[in-house]
Structure 1
């Protein structure tokens, strides 16, 4: 069966959900039909535009800009404070509805997910008819709208969902790339942030098509591994698959919104160090080992990206979590300012069960026996260190002791 993937994206999620909730409570104004934004307290990093209505967009208001700047563009702008608890409720309703269609769902953020349509395609006359049905039911049952992109590749499905909005279905199959995607500005490509786009422009690369035709060796010399990634995406190359989540234990994770954007890898690693401590502590408290680790980045433009990696040996060690998170972030970060960072563990196993060591846990310079002992000794030392730190924090508080990697910069 050939791959058939839906990318489902809520149209201006925060603003739509706030509008639906206000209408339920008797409001006579639909925020989606007037110049309006979701904004809030600057101190908590919500003093910026989190979401905007289509009428607000006509005034040149952009997601991520300061609320003060938005008000200068439109003095009559309606500002609604964010309600993240309410947003999580609406997101849960959406995912529960989608799970009623198929368990093959990969949620990548609060307002978007991938759906593997291939296994259920026999239930519908066509993928587009299925998408129309899903959009209609979401609109009528929940009061908000979504865009659905359809393709055989995840990245193309995501690109398709970002075409004309709102409440639309679009396809972007490999044979449609040349006409539908290549003419678009290069900054419209998923994973090309503002900083990368500026560099590409200086190289004479202005469209996705020109990026697709660019010299790969040149791109990797300028952008390292990220150059290969965006070149592959421009050519519709994406071998990732929909990774279904279940209603059982989805994993243990932590994320943080930064009071100031992280602009260097050193700042990113500082935050990852703190998150690694929190995630590994929660794993140890739960008696679980992580088999897979995911790092999520949300840029200052509110574009999100994530990447995951399977650990060679399941672990709840702070050192292992941090090392893997750093590696993932190094592969994922596109150089743009980062607003949010998160680490999520999944494929959990019981820490009390016997654990088979990976060959990479061994010191291959010695004999087989001494190598195994060396690997176990190293793991044992980290376990003892984590246990000691856990005891100190339990007695004197979570901030009583910190690793040096987490205190390089004054970031939350």
Structure 2
């Protein structure tokens, strides 16, 4: 049996890279927005919204993904802001995944801009895995116009960790034999599933690096952190038991999640976020010509406790409002009023066939809403995400800047097992995420 070989391929600053590639496609003489301080997120005109992606020079000036645009501009007065165009990003993601499938026997889309490729047994076809990764990286740049990082290892956990090393446009390896040199010296905060509270508790125990956790007493870690301790101890030792799956995204469903810039403790704010997520998920469902019959809500609190709940619908749907109603009901049942760090909405049992159980007194409501949603999708696709929006987003309280201009809700979730379905996720990508 050949040894497992996994690539993790991650687009560098995806939304900004994809926006830059599109602008250069339209005008080859246009300036490359990756070459000066720039961000994707919100509106240059209103100066509201949050940073969804940033250029390297903006990052060097301290601009952070997920922070309010006003705060980013204080750090960088010359910052250029570009509104997001989600339809472009979805298409670029499709092209990216399609190219990977030309070479990899199995591609598992982990988010809109990253994927795990099972390359086991391909060395006889492509030669040295590191050399081929460089060729693949360069081909993506040549054909699609953006750069990627590729991490290589024997499992997803280590491959993902490797791809997060120095960026952009790099190939890194992190095999078990390299853990002591490359992985164990990293600060404990760099380990997946180690959030702020967990890191503080680990440091209080004298554990400041991943290597110290790996060499610590397993029973002691379990006694302090319970089942979470088992997970992080295994991760520190490079152990990740979940196999790379190869499933068609449409069969999984569609999902999106948002890592919040600030802990949310208000129900109304949380439900604004849920509506934003449902709008994006609904648009993707309709773009795929699909219908779903399962809706799930996920909550991660500020101590990184994960809870979720789902419901099976009596009728399949592609209607944003129906998804939102279900999401709110699930949220009300699920939330224990702990401060929220992340919210996610996912769907399942996607199908191309539609079945509907009509309410006797409202038989045409869902049909009308579906047509209305499709019309709104078309307007946004042609004129941009901010061309039409719900009043509740326009009137969003300035005290909750993470909600501004989140009509698309396209945040790339990194601190949870992102929904590979439809390559959906959160651009404000925390490092501490389960692969």
Report the TM range for the smaller structure's normalisation.
0.5 to 0.7
The aligned residue for residue 398 of structure 2 is: none
- Partner of 2:109, secondary structure, is strand
Query: Aligned partners of 2:184 and 2:148: how far apart in 1?
Result: 24
Shift in Å at residue 71 of structure 1?
1.0
Distance in structure 2 (CA, Å) of the matches to 1:242 and 1:307: 23
The equivalent of 2:155 in structure 1 is 153
Distance 1:97 1:397, change over 3 A: closer
**Deviation of 1:129 (Å):** 1.6
Equivalent pair of 1:49/1:66 in contact (CA under 8 Å):
yes
Say which is worse superposed, 68-77 or 202-211, in terms of deviation: 202-211
State the distance in 2 between where 1:190 and 1:346 align. Answer: 29
Partner of 2:14: 13
Counterparts of 1:359-374 in structure 2, within 5 Å, are none
Does the 8 Å contact 2:292/2:348 carry over to 1? no
Residue 296 of structure 1 and its aligned partner are, at CA, apart by 7.0
Alignment partner, residue 362 of structure 1: none
Q: 2:103 aligns with which of 74, 82, 101?
A: 101
Q: How does 1:258-337 map to 2 (within 5 A)?
A: 337=341
Gapped runs of 5+ residues in structure 1? 353-385, 399-410
- 1:345 is matched with 348
Cα deviation, residue 147, structure 1 = 0.5
Task: Say whether the 8 Å CA contact 1:288–1:350 is kept in structure 2.
Answer: no
1:2–1:152: 8 Å Cα contact kept in structure 2?
yes
Q: Is 1:187 aligned to residue 189 of structure 2?
A: yes
Q: Is the 8 A contact 1:61 1:70 kept in 2?
A: yes
Residues 346, 157 of structure 1: alpha-carbon distance in 2 compared, 3 angstrom cutoff? farther
SS at match of 1:95: helix
Aligned residues: 345
1:153 is displaced (CA, Å) by: 1.1
For residue 93 of structure 1, report the CA deviation from its aligned partner: 0.4
The answer on 1:166 being equivalent to 2:168 is: yes
Q: CA deviation at 1:151?
A: 0.5
Q: Deviations over 1:37-91 (max 9, x none)?
A: 112159x998111111111121122111211111111111111111111111110
Aligned counterparts, 1:36-185, within 5 A: 36-40=38-42, 47-185=49-187
- TM-score under structure 2 normalisation? 0.64
- What CA distance in whole angstroms lies between the structure 1 residues aligned with 2:361 and 2:202? 49
Pairing 1:197-212 to 2, within 5 Å after superposition? 197-212=199-214
Report the aligned-residue RMSD: 4.8
Any unmatched runs of 5+ in structure 2? Answer: 316-325, 368-402, 404-408, 410-435
Describe the SS at the equivalent of 1:132.
helix
Normalised by the length of structure 1, the TM-score is 0.68
Higher RCO (Cα < 8 Å, 6 or more apart): 2
Distance 2:306 2:135 in 1: 29
Distance 2:306 2:13 in 1: 20
- Residue 23 of structure 2 corresponds to residue 22 of structure 1: yes
Task: Please list the CA deviations of residues 187-227 of structure 1 after superposition, one character each: whole Å capped at 9, or x if unmatched.
Answer: 11222233433333333322111222334344344444222
Alpha-carbon offset, residue 112 of structure 1: 0.5
Give the distance between the partners of 2:153 and 2:48, measured in 1 at CA: 35
SS of the residue 1:17 aligns to? helix
Rg: which structure is higher?
1
Q: 1:295 to 1:10 in 2, by over 3 A?
A: farther
Deviations along 1:292-333, one digit per CA (max 9) or x if unpaired, are x98877999xx9x99999x9xx97679xx99xx99xx99xxx
